[in-house]
């Protein structure tokens, strides 16, 4: 099936999801040109209401909310993408390695992953960030490390189904190395599962970053990010202003949108019709 | 209910089945006519894709998902099934019409006892109370010659053998005393010696209750034991229908004759007097605690075909895995041109690995579905032979010519787009790309139709002559052995029972087990089953 016919068969929910994601990407990439003000520029008094000059008002330091929303898309989504990508690169390679090698390699890796999974992710992240110190590179590394575990488990399980097939045996019998087996024989067969998982895992990471930022140990001020924007402006809620709900809503919208796409991809990968 | 023998029990008129989009449908049955009288057994024969399973299901008013009735009618005992609502049809299914599938193991729910599943239909259709149904089921088990009929129903499906399950499933189909049973390849997955028992039990019970049956199979010898009449099908059309004896002795159509001729393929055996390429000495191998190979010694002469024959569980595939280095033996050794082979393939040097290649039973899993034909073939040619650029392309085309597939047409196809026989050919080409001396063929034809299988066998024989290959051919099918073997090894429960030149094994078998195995092969003679039982 070509790309166009595949896209045509997408249900409306998936179209909605793709539209939201596309919009987010455009906004994130074009932030400096789209945003009316700079990311950290103080443009007026604190907590100004919505007006023509500031469509979403200003925040607790008098920065333009809309501009920060736009830059926030860049930071939150971009970092989430980077983190998820790192977790997937490491997790899927290790998972396939465990499935292909079996034996001690598998035991060692799997038990190590069990240890990581035994601690609730948020607590583990808080603990590790307390040790290494809160900074953006540290946060990305810590979250990527934590999310290697579920990716590893999935990649290993999916690869297990592939490595027992005869074509792997045939490749081994002609002396192919592990790297080639991983890249050319196993990976193409588990790619659809991994891609679907990537979408889902991206949502988790994205929420995770927002949560850490909300707690004040994620993305550090003055960098704009949707999680900390909720936290910084939370007091407005008590005055009946919905502005802090807008970054929260953006998080929710993007999460739902990605889940719509993932649902569709999982459905296609499972081979079920309509 | 009209019981006069004149009215047919089942009448299909111009039945047309379609699948796919309504505007450009794939036609599965092109207006099939079929009549079945009470108590009659009709055999449906054809290759896969001939539409015989679809016809069998349609006889019960059922179609597979995505398939629809597109014309014609199916009348069962005066009721037009094609017009019936699903609820009304369900009342007939299981009670008046029953179905026996190819894989009984997959058709039983592993979480329930056999007896509960056999009595499910009569209880559901309220033709009998539970205790009454259980009594009848036990009587059926006895009639089907299942061991320990009183207790066997209390076991779970995994505790029964394949043959026992298949008989229990026939018992289940019989539980409501249906007027029609559809058998869909019920013995294809069974060993020959088990097949005899199951066939006999099925035939007896169908005769006993006077049930009409449709017996679907691709095995002509089997159908000639079971059926009163045989319909040969091809591409969703009837080729010809005759009484069994007549169609066997005097087939009218060329296609029927070509099906008949498949079984007579036989290559003259060559003397197995060349020096051995591979020699196994006292091999014993085990999976964990279970010993599957005991003191196996065999010599595989260079440039000859050695077939290893045995029922499932006899250790023939294990022998191949030991030689290939996939399962290091517990004791004993494998010699390659007189030199000991490292037991683990990972310790063999690349040149040695390339000399030993395998061809697998399931071409579906033996080829990476994400690759094209070109990728499948270029990799071993590049990796094992160091070819690249133009020589590589030339080699790939040469390989395609060897397996008689036009390179221009197939090279850029993806594996899933190929038919079963084409996939198997690609599997052979991939093995040949490494330019091996020794090919292990593990049941390479058992998943294929007879005509296609014959093509593969002819191809392998031709390649052996052209490339001077040594073949180890594993099979459970004695017709295949007769076709290709120079030397025959008979295995049972991990041991070699008998080995020798083909002629000697077939003409004067020394061991009782060999004789039993040879006798169990169905022959194209309607009286064969009655004679051997």
Burial grade of A188 (CB within 10 A; 0-12, 13-18, 19 or more):
middle
Alpha helices in B227-372 (DSSP H): 244-249, 254-261, 316-324, 350-355, 363-366
In a domain, A35, yes or no: no
- As given in the structure block, the two tokens for residue A190 are 């588990």
Q: Are A58 and A46 in contact (CB under 8 A)?
A: yes
Task: Kindly state whether residue A127 falls inside one of the protein's structural domains.
Answer: yes
- Residue A273 confidence (pLDDT) above 50: no
**A249 falls within a domain:** yes
Beta carbons of A70 and A147 less than 8 angstroms apart: no
Cα gap B132→B87, rounded to integer Å:
26
Asked if residue B423 has pLDDT above 60, the reply is yes
pTM > 0.80: yes or no: no
Looking at the domain assignment, is residue A128 inside a domain? yes
The H or E element that residue B80 is part of is strand B79-80
Helix extents (H) in A119-244? 121-132, 136-163, 166-173, 178-180, 187-215, 226-232
B203: left (phi over 0), alpha (psi -120 to 50) or beta: alpha
Domains recognised in chain B with CATH numbers: 10-261 (3.40.50.300), 276-532 (3.40.50.300)
Q: What is the DSSP string of B372-407?
A: BHHHHHHHHHHHHH---HHHHHHHHHHHHHHTT--H
Write b or e for each residue in A116-151: b if 16 or more Cβ atoms lie within 10 A of its Cβ, otherwise e. beeeebeebbbebbeeeebebeebbbbbbbbbbbbb
Residue owning tokens 């034909």 = B373
Q: Which of B345, B365, B383 sits opposite A166 (nearest CB)?
A: B365
pLDDT of B277: 92
Nearest to B306 by CA among B458, B481, B137: B481
Distance from CA of B430 to the nearest CA of A (A): 9
Mean pLDDT of the region B26-33: 88
> Which of B361, B368, B430, B474 has the highest number of chain A CBs within 10 A, making it the mutation to test binding with A?
B368
Using the beta-carbon criterion (under 8 Å), do A273 and B66 form an inter-chain contact? Answer: yes
- List, in sequence order, the alpha helices (H) in B175-333: 192-209, 220-226, 244-249, 254-261, 316-324
Q: For position A125, which CATH number holds?
A: 1.10.3720.10
CA distance A204 to chain B (A): 30
B320-339 confidence digits (pLDDT tens): 999 999 999 999 999 999 89
| Partner residue opposite A165 with nearest CB, options B324, B356, B365 | B365
Residues of chain B whose beta carbon is less than 8 angstroms from a beta carbon of chain A are 66, 324-326, 345, 350, 353-354, 356-358, 360, 362, 365-371, 379-380, 383-384, 430-431, 434
Judge whether residue A179 has pLDDT over 70. Answer: yes
Contact A175 B383 (CB under 8 A): yes
Nearest-Cα distance to chain A for B363, in Å, is 9
Residue A76 lies in a domain: no
Question: Among all chains, which residue has been given the structure tokens 């009183």?
Answer: B150
Nearest-CA distance A170 → chain B (Å):
7
Rg (CA), chain A: 22
CB neighbour list of residue B76: distance below 8 Å, 6 or more residues apart: B9, B10, B11, B59, B60, B61, B92, B96, B97, B180
The closest alpha carbon to B295, from B285, B304, B287, belongs to: B285
Whether residue A189 and residue B365 make contact (CB cut-off 8 A), yes or no, is: no
Do B81 and B62 form a contact (C-beta atoms < 8 A)? no
Q: Partners of B283 in the beta sheet?
A: B296
In angstroms, the CA B154 to CA B152 distance is: 5
Q: Which of A1, A171, A174, A271 to mutate to test the interface with B (most CBs of B within 10 A)?
A: A174
pLDDT of residue B531: 78
**Is A50 inside any structural domain?**
no
Q: How many Cα atoms within 13 Å fall on the side-chain side of residue A214?
A: 16
Q: What is the DSSP string of B234-252?
A: ETTEEEEEEEHHHHHH---
Query: For testing the chain B interface, which of A1, A161, A166, A180 should be mutated: the one with the most B CBs within 10 Å?
Result: A166
Report long-range pairs for B247-252 (Cβ below 8 Å, ≥24 apart). Answer: B248/B220, B248/B224, B248/B524, B248/B525, B248/B526
Distance from C-alpha of A25 to C-alpha of A77, rounded to nearest angstrom: 8
Residue A237 lies in a domain: yes
- Contacts of residue B530, defined as CB under 8 A and 6 or more positions apart, other chains included, come to none
Q: What is the pLDDT of residues B213-261, one digit of tens each?
A: 999 988 888 888 889 999 999 888 899 998 988 888 888 888 888 887 7
User: Does position B210 have pLDDT exceeding 70, yes or no?
Assistant: yes
Residues of B in contact with A185 (CB under 8 A): 368
**% of chain B exceeding 70 in pLDDT:** 98
Q: Collapse the DSSP code of B12 into the 3-class scheme (helix H, G, I; strand E, B; otherwise coil) and give the result.
A: strand
* Mutant choice from A5, A162, A175 vs B, greatest count of B C-beta within 10 A: A175
Q: Closest partner residue to A167 among B326, B366, B383, by Cβ?
A: B366
With CA atoms as reference, the chain B residue closest to A187 would be B370
pLDDT digits (tens, 9 = 90+) for B164-203: 888 888 888 888 888 999 998 888 777 788 888 888 888 8
Domain range spanning residue A254?
84-274
From A165's Cα to the closest Cα of chain B, the distance in A is 6
Half-sphere exposure of A144 (CA within 13 A, CB side): 19
pLDDT in tens, B265-290: 778 888 888 899 999 999 999 888 88
The predicted complex's ipTM stands at 0.74
Query: Confidence class of residue B478 from pLDDT cuts 50, 70 and 90?
Result: confident
Record: contact B383-A172, CB cut-off 8 A: no
Which secondary-structure segment (H or E) carries B472? strand B470-475
Give a yes or no: residue A183 inside a domain: yes
Residue of B nearest to A185 (CA): B368
Show which residues on chain A lie within 8 Å of chain B, measured between beta carbons. 165-167, 169-170, 172-176, 184-185, 188-189, 273
Q: How many CB pairs under 8 A join A and B?
A: 51
Local confidence band at A270 (pLDDT 50, 70, 90 cut-offs): low
Of B366, B371, B383, the CB nearest to A166: B366
Residue B393 and residue B398: Cα distance in Å, rounded?
A: 9
Domains in chain A, number: 1
């Amino acid at each position: 099936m070509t790309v166009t016919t595949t896209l045509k068969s997408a249900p409306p929910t998936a179209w909605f999801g793709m539209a939201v994601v596309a919009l987010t990407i455009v906004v994130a990439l074009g932030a400096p040109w789209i945003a009316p003000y700079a990311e950290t520029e103080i443009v007026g008094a604190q907590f100004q209401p919505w007006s023509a000059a500031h469509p979403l008002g200003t925040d607790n330091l008098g920065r333009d909310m809309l501009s920060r929303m736009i830059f926030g898309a860049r930071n939150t989504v971009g970092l989430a993408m980077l983190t998820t990508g790192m977790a997937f690169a490491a997790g899927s390679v290790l998972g396939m390695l465990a499935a292909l090698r079996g034996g001690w390699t598998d035991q060692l890796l799997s038990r190590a992953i069990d240890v990581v999974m035994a601690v609730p992710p948020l607590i583990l992240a808080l603990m590790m960030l307390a040790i290494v110190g809160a900074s953006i590179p540290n946060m990305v590394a810590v979250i990527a490390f934590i999310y290697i575990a579920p990716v590893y488990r999935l990649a290993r399980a999916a690869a297990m189904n592939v490595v027992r097939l005869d074509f792997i045996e045939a490749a081994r019998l002609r002396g192919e190395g592990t790297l080639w087996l991983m890249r050319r024989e196993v990976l193409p067969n588990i790619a659809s599962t991994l891609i679907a998982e990537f979408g889902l895992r991206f949502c988790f990471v994205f929420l995770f970053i927002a949560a850490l930022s909300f707690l004040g140990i994620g993305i550090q001020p003055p960098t704009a990010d949707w999680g900390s924007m909720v936290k910084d402006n939370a007091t407005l809620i008590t005055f009946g202003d919905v502005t802090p709900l807008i970054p929260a809503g953006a998080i929710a919208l993007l999460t739902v949108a990605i889940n719509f796409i993932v649902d569709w991809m999982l459905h296609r990968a499972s081979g079920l019709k309509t | 209910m009209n019981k006069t023998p004149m009215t047919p029990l089942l009448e299909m008129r111009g039945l047309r089945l379609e699948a796919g989009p309504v505007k450009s449908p794939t036609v599965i049955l092109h207006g099939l006519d079929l009549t079945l009288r009470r108590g009659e057994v009709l055999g449906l024969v054809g290759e896969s894709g001939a539409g015989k399973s679809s016809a069998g299901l349609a006889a019960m008013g059922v179609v597979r998902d995505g398939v629809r009735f597109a014309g014609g009618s199916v009348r069962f005992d005066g009721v037009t099934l094609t017009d019936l609502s699903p609820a009304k049809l369900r009342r007939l299914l299981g009670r008046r019409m029953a179905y026996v599938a190819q894989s009984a193991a997959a058709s039983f729910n592993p979480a329930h006892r056999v007896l509960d599943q056999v009595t499910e239909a009569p209880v559901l259709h309220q033709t009998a109370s539970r205790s009454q149904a259980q009594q009848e089921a036990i009587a059926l088990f006895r009639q089907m010659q299942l061991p320990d009929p009183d207790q066997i129903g209390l076991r779970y499906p995994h505790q029964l053998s394949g043959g026992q399950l298949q008989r229990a499933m026939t018992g289940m189909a019989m539980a409501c005393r249906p007027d029609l049973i559809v058998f869909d390849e019920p013995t294809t997955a069974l060993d020959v010696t088990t097949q005899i028992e199951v066939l006999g039990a099925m035939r007896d019970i169908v005769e006993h209750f006077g049930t009409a049956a449709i017996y679907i199979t691709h095995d002509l010898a089997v159908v000639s034991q079971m059926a009163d009449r045989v319909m040969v099908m091809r591409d969703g059309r009837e080729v010809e229908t005759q009484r069994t004896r007549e169609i066997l002795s005097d087939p009218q159509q060329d296609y029927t004759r070509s099906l008949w001729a498949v079984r007579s393929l036989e290559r003259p055996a060559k003397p197995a007097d060349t020096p051995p390429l591979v020699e196994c000495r006292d091999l014993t191998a085990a999976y964990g605690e279970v010993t599957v190979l005991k003191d196996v010694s065999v010599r595989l002469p260079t440039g000859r075909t050695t077939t290893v024959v045995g029922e499932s569980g006899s250790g023939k595939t294990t022998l191949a895995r030991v030689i290939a280095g996939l399962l290091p033996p517990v004791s004993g050794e494998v010699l390659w041109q007189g030199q000991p082979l490292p037991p683990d393939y990972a310790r063999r040097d690349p040149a040695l690995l390339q000399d030993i290649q395998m061809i697998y039973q399931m071409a579906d899993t033996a080829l990476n579905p994400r690759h094209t034909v070109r990728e499948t073939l270029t990799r071993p040619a590049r990796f094992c032979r160091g070819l690249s650029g133009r020589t590589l392309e030339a080699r790939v085309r040469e390989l395609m010519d060897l397996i008689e597939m036009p390179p221009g047409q197939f090279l850029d196809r993806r594996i899933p787009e190929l038919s079963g026989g084409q996939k198997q050919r690609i599997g052979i080409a991939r093995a040949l790309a490494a330019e091996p001396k020794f090919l292990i063929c593990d049941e390479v034809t058992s998943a294929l139709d007879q005509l296609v299988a014959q093509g593969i066998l002819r191809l392998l024989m031709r390649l052996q002559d052209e490339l001077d290959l040594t073949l180890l051919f594993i099979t459970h099918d004695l017709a295949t052995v007769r076709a290709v073997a120079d030397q025959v090894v008979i295995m049972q429960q991990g041991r070699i029972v008998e080995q020798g030149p083909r002629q000697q094994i077939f003409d004067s078998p020394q061991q009782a087990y060999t004789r039993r195995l040879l006798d169990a092969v169905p022959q194209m003679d309607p009286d064969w089953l009655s004679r051997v039982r």
